[in-house]
Structure 1
Amino acid sequence: LHSKGIIHRDLKPQNILLSYTSRRKSSVTDFGFARYLHSNMMAATLCGSPMYMAPEVIMSQHYDAKADLWSIGTVIYQCLVGKPPF
């Protein structure tokens, strides 16, 4: 997604589907908040699920695709520990 300039802006466990068939794969769903950003552009809209939002999003600062990486990090933490980080 990011290589195509798309930021999801609402990555959370409910929006990540895992398949454990013979070919394991994952899929991202719910692109309601997704946005296309031209190169060097930043987003500023407050949207997504607060528990998984990057600090810059919560503080209404400009952000880019790195905010999605924060969200994935909180999801991975929750998978490993069994509870959200915050």
Structure 2
Amino acid sequence: MLTVIAYKKDARTRVKERMVFKEDFDTEDLEGLDSTMRYTFPSKKGYRYEIHKTMVKRRNLMTGVEYEERFDTHFAASPSSEAYWSM
């Protein structure tokens, strides 16, 4: 499973870009998805996109057990971080 996040240049924001698209795709075909996104969000029009594996393997800090979580899970909400266990 892959996740695509697309951004567009926007001078009105502090970081000079804004997120315009975020979608999960049930495929492992990275090249096919990359060519589709390159056509859909061309860099000539000010777009930038990132493709991530949706689920990543992490290790629980307390038990040492390996588990899977979304790539964009905030560190304070992840059992693999010390901040999660210190709350």
Task: Bin the TM-score by the shorter chain.
Answer: under 0.3
Structure of higher CA gyration radius? 2
TM value normalised by structure 1: 0.24
Higher relative contact order (CA 8 A, sep 6+): 1
Higher helix share: 1
